[in-house]
Structure formats: structure tokens, C-alpha cells
Amino acid sequence: MRIAILSCFYPYRGGISQFSGCMMLELAKEHEVKAFNFSRQYPPVLFPGSTQYVMPGDFATRVESDRLLDSVNPFTWKRTARRILEWQPDVVYICWWNTFFGPSMGRVAHFLKRRGVKVMGILHNVLPHEHRALDKPLTKHFLGGCNGFVTLGNEGSESLARIGGSPSVELFHPVYSQFGEKLPREEAEKKLGIPAGSKNLLFFGLIRKYKGLDILIKAFALLPEDYRLIIAGEPYGGFEEYQALIDPNPGAGRIHCFTSYIADEEVKTYFSAADLSVLPYRSATQSGVRAVSYNFGVPMVVTDTGSLRADIEGTGTGLVAPQPDPEAVSETIRRYFDTPGLAEKCRKNIVKEMDRLSWKSFCKGLLEFTATI
């Protein structure tokens, strides 16, 4: 089968690029696959991070792609669609994660669908976590250009049902394995300059408001002195509001901040030093951080939002805080450490989940659903 994928690929960095590259490589084991990429993803003025591109030290999934689609240049939208059509694919998978791409990706999807091409949307987020006025119409525009949809968790499925998209199937976010082997804990702590002997909590990933880092900082103030908090991720904007919470925090000396871009080769250091990965999210569909945590065998405490409860509580790989507030998060963290045998039980369950959440299983489900459309 000839499979085209329109998404963000190398040399762009980030979770969508990694996901798309891994999916492409797995599909290419048995099919002819071609990647269609952005020539310009975001104009620099609209991108609040340090860079959109892969940096030295990243274990990027380096796939070849045709860089055609400029998100803000309408002349490239039809051109991209024509190039995909000329390749004569049996199916086109389009990754959807941000309504900013509604006009460009929607135009491509509608062009192809009208010409009889099977177009499938792989929905990382149906709607953004931080809502804007045009989110729903832009999302509906894109959805209207697709024949079917794949969601990565129950929250995505529920959002899709509310906005009106079918047919669909709910799959999962596969586990990443490109970050290397876990380090000895002592070595990781030494690299980070963290004293040994504490219960280390990790907040990892791009820092955005919906991810609730402020909740975790406040929760940390309620924990005993044998806890440490590692914050590892680039702020999507400024870090000032979080620093303002850290400075007066009674545990400020035990909060370790690494708020520049985290290269892929450094990821293993942070997870190797961690006892527990904490996702205090205000909202979520699914989380790539969960996949990385699984890769390193690190259990999680998450909040009861999106598909996180089902992902964690349903698999026994961590605990769920009932509310995204400091008291609930701190109590759940303490319960994790205070419950005899729980940590080991969670780690064993993670090993089981690693087998189920493989790229091979994901692509098998993807192709089986595609065949029904």
C-alpha cells in the first residue's frame, strides 16, 4: 500500500515530529511511505520557544520528507495537495494537533478528499487545551476534509464526539525508545548536582499553563523535607510567574530548575534521577511524557483529567489525584511513597504496558481501521 503522511517531521523538533517519524518508520517496514512536511511551520514571531528545529544532542527521527507546506502562505496549500495527489497514495494520514494549522491542513484535506483520496486524521488534540474563539470552526474545517479519525485517548474521543466527527477509532500513544538506557541513579543525581537520599519528583516537558507546574510548586510546599522537585523543560513563554512561586516556597532550596531546552541525549539523566513523574495537568487528552516515563520505568502521579485516569489508574502504573489542586496532588504523592510495595508494583505494571504500547501494535490498529473506511 502507498501511504502518504502530512505532518511535522525532521528537522523540526518536538513530540509531533518524533511521533510522525516513528510512525513512518514502522509503516515503512511493510508499505511504501512518503512524508510531506512543512517548509515553514510557525513564523518566528508566533513561536515563543527558543527554536523550532532539532538541536545538537537530539536523537531525532531523521526521515526524508518533501518540505512543501507553508502554514501562512496559501499559495503552497494547493501546491502541496497536488504533489500528494500526483504521488497517487492509497491513503493520506494527516496529524492534527493545533488549530493554527486549520486553514493550511484543512485546505489540503478537502482538496484530496474531493478527488477521491482516502484522508485520515490522526488527532493528538482535537481542540487546544487553551481555548480561543476560532478553535471550533477551524477544527471543524479540518475534520470536514477527512474520511475517518484516530484519537489517542478517551478524552480525544469524547471531544471528537462533541464536535461531530465520525467514523473514528481510539488507539493510544506508543512508547518512545530513542532516549537511550537508564543510568544508575547515583550517576544521574551527580550529573544534575542533586544530593542523594531524597524522594525525587520530576516535572518534565514543555512548560505551559495547562500543565499545572504552579500547582505542583504549591503542592511541594506541603511535602516533608525529604522530597526534592526537579523541573526540566523549556517555558512556552516566560518562567517569571513560576519563579515567583518558588522564591517564597519553604522548600525552595530543594527545587532544582533546568528551564532551557532539554536535548534528547539529556532526557535519560532526568528520568534516571526520578522516583516519580508528576503530571499535575489542568487539562489533557493524552501525554507524550507518559510514554517517556514508561520507557524509563518511572511511575506517575497524574490528575483526573482527560485520558490520564484511564491511562494510569486503569493500568496500575501510578496514582491519580482527584483534583488539579495543591492539596490533592501533595496527598497523592505522599500516598504513593507511604504505601508499602506500591512503587515496585507500578514498575512491574509498566513493563507489561511497554509490550502493549508498541509502535507495531499502534500501526496494526491504524491499518485495520483504515481498511474499514
Burial per residue of 200-235, b for 16 or more beta-carbon CB atoms within 10 angstroms, e otherwise: bbbbbbbbbeebbbbbbbbbbbbbeeebbbbbbbbb
153 and 10 in one domain?
A: yes
Instruction: Give the phi and the psi of residue 110 in degrees, each rounded to 5.
Output: -65, -40
**Chain centroid offset of residue 259 CA:** 18
Are the C-beta atoms of 219 and 201 separated by less than 8 Å?
no
Q: Is this structure's pTM higher than 0.85?
A: no
Residue whose C-alpha is closest to residue 69's, from 141, 4, 7: 7
Are the C-beta atoms of 121 and 159 separated by less than 8 Å?
no
190 secondary structure, DSSP code: H
Q: In what order do the strands lie in the sheet with 91-96?
A: 66-70, 32-40, 2-6, 91-96, 119-123, 148-151, 168-170
67 and 43 in one domain?
A: yes
**Cell digits of residue 141:** 474545517
165 and 94 in one domain?
A: yes
Predicted confidence pLDDT, tens digits, the chain (373 residues): 999 999 999 999 888 999 999 999 999 999 999 999 999 998 887 776 667 777 766 666 789 999 999 999 999 999 999 999 999 999 999 999 999 999 999 999 999 999 999 999 999 989 876 678 899 999 999 999 999 999 998 788 888 999 888 899 999 989 887 788 899 999 999 999 999 999 999 999 989 999 999 999 999 999 999 999 999 999 987 899 999 999 999 999 999 999 988 888 899 999 999 999 999 999 876 678 988 999 999 999 999 987 788 889 888 999 999 999 999 999 999 999 999 999 999 999 999 998 888 999 999 999 999 999 9
265 and 252 in one domain?
A: yes
Are the C-beta atoms of 91 and 118 separated by less than 8 Å?
yes
Q: What CATH number should be reported for the domain holding residue 249?
A: 3.40.50.2000
Domain holding 138, by residue range, is: 2-174+358-370
Are the C-beta atoms of 175 and 291 separated by less than 8 Å?
yes
Q: What CATH number should be reported for the domain holding residue 93?
A: 3.40.50.11930
140 belongs to a structural domain: yes
337 and 365 in one domain?
A: no
